[in-house]
Amino acid sequence: MTHSETFPVTENTRLRRLPRRGSYDHAAVHAILDEALVAHVGFIGSAGQPVVLPTAFARRGDVVILHGSVVGRLMKTLAEGVPLCLTVTLLDGLVLAKSAFHHSMNYRSVTVFGHARLVTGANEKEAALRALTERLTPGRWDALRPVTAKEVAATTVLELPLLEAVAKTRSGPPVDDAEDLDWPVFAGVVPLSMVAGDAIPA
Amino acid sequence: MTHSETFPVTENTRLRRLPRRGSYDHAAVHAILDEALVAHVGFIGSAGQPVVLPTAFARRGDVVILHGSVVGRLMKTLAEGVPLCLTVTLLDGLVLAKSAFHHSMNYRSVTVFGHARLVTGANEKEAALRALTERLTPGRWDALRPVTAKEVAATTVLELPLLEAVAKTRSGPPVDDAEDLDWPVFAGVVPLSMVAGDAIPA
């Protein structure tokens, strides 16, 4: 896959407002997915109720891997191949303008539309679980107590092919109205980032 | 509202798996909503496609306030009173166990089910916008260039009443199998938190 490849612009992914914030480049989508730690997955539950649940995930090539207990609602529903939407958001800063109207947030988000498919086969499932572990803690998988067949069987693993996706980004300073620039209040960006503290041994 | 008030357990909010992680207390739900900076809102778009989009929000009493451009898809759709699901997730740590199977994340999340209603009336809209600004930067509203009638008119403000909500929390160390406790790999928690850097003037 090269950086020049792009996802198609579809009715789902076309940005109606502020299209300049959007990108359909595979590389842009992948980079955001690879930095985010949590995805929010939306599906239609019973009685037509939309449901949004947070979950860990990992991208591997052209698919997003999801996993969970075989008895959980999220995995059971998604395994049926229902339409889903997976969104990840990296919050980069609070954008403080001279007027409330121009306040904003700096962020990078990706929204993926599609259907998940069940990963079957113990080897394929184990490879996916390995990817989930390794993306967060590279090199750790081989040091862990090996997974058992029973554990693999108790875990549902799903793949969401990346076929329809869009990245959205807002960055940089506030964009104030020209006549407000001298208003006597701070304007600028408060950077936000997720940081890891010192590990706490169990 | 006292801490003893609880949300009803419904078909949407009943936790089937690990019910001990759930709380229906108003206070628990409010605390998580008040700390989170971004919500992920799910709704059913055209052709039955679930859509999940990130958005800023603020809780004010028993409602969650959402806002956006009157021409944006999210506001237009939600203003119709369609069923929605709003989820916020605070990621608190990576939980590293002796086995891949017992890896987890520490988090606090809230999921709200309901319908938004349009806030009309310039004064009511302005009060909601004030709450959105003040929750992130207390005291800032009065220092800003005042909002104009045109800006208020260009902004859709919605209220989502908190009627059906559940908080989920995972905290603490990994829970390893007894026979794995001596396995020679680190086990513990890597704390994660969102931090603000020094403000960058525009």
Domain range enclosing A108? 19-172
Beta strands, E only, B45-125: 50-55, 58-60, 63-69, 83-96, 104-115, 117-118
B52 lies in some domain: yes
B93 lies in some domain: yes
Yes or no: say if B127 and A100 are a contact pair by the CB < 8 Å rule.
no
| Residues near B133 by beta carbon (within 8 Å), at least 6 away in sequence | A100, A103, B140, B141, B144
Token look-up 């929750």 returns B135
Q: What is the mean pLDDT of each run of 10 residues along chain B (202 residues)?
A: 79 89 96 98 94 97 96 93 98 98 98 98 96 95 97 97 98 98 98 97 96
**Interface predicted TM-score of the whole assembly (ipTM), two decimals:** 0.96
B34 lies in some domain: yes
CATH of the domain at B89: 2.30.110.10
Which residue is closest to A75 within chain B, CA to CA?
B17
Which H/E stretch holds residue A125?
Answer: helix A122-136
Query: Which percentage of chain A shows pLDDT scores above 90?
Result: 92
Distance of alpha carbon A94 from alpha carbon A107, whole angstroms: 9
Write out chain B residues lying below 8 Å of A201, CB-based: 186-188
- Smallest Cβ–Cβ distance between A185 and the set B46, B100, B144 belongs to B144
pLDDT for res B1: 47
- Smallest Cβ–Cβ distance between A199 and the set B44, B51, B190 belongs to B190
> Is B153 within 8 Å of chain A by CB?
no
In order, the DSSP letters of A178-202 are: GGGTTSSS--EEEEEEEEE---EE-
Amino acid of residue B81? G
> Is A171 within 8 Å of chain B by CB?
no
Distance of alpha carbon B107 from alpha carbon B92, whole angstroms: 5
Closest by CA to A7, choosing from A30, A38, A37, is A30
A162 lies in some domain: yes
pTM of this prediction? Answer: 0.96
- Smallest Cβ–Cβ distance between A133 and the set B45, B100, B174 belongs to B100
Distance of alpha carbon A1 from alpha carbon B54, whole angstroms: 28
- Give the count of domains, chain B: 1
Yes or no: say if B13 and A7 are a contact pair by the CB < 8 Å rule.
no
A130 lies in some domain: yes
Give A76-106 pLDDT, tens digit per residue: 999 999 999 999 999 999 999 999 999 999 9
Separation in Å, CA of B196 to nearest CA in chain A: 5
B188 lies in some domain: no
Distance of alpha carbon B65 from alpha carbon B52, whole angstroms: 17
Interface of B with A in 25-64 (CB under 8 A): 37-38, 40-54, 56
A13 lies in some domain: no
B185 lies in some domain: no
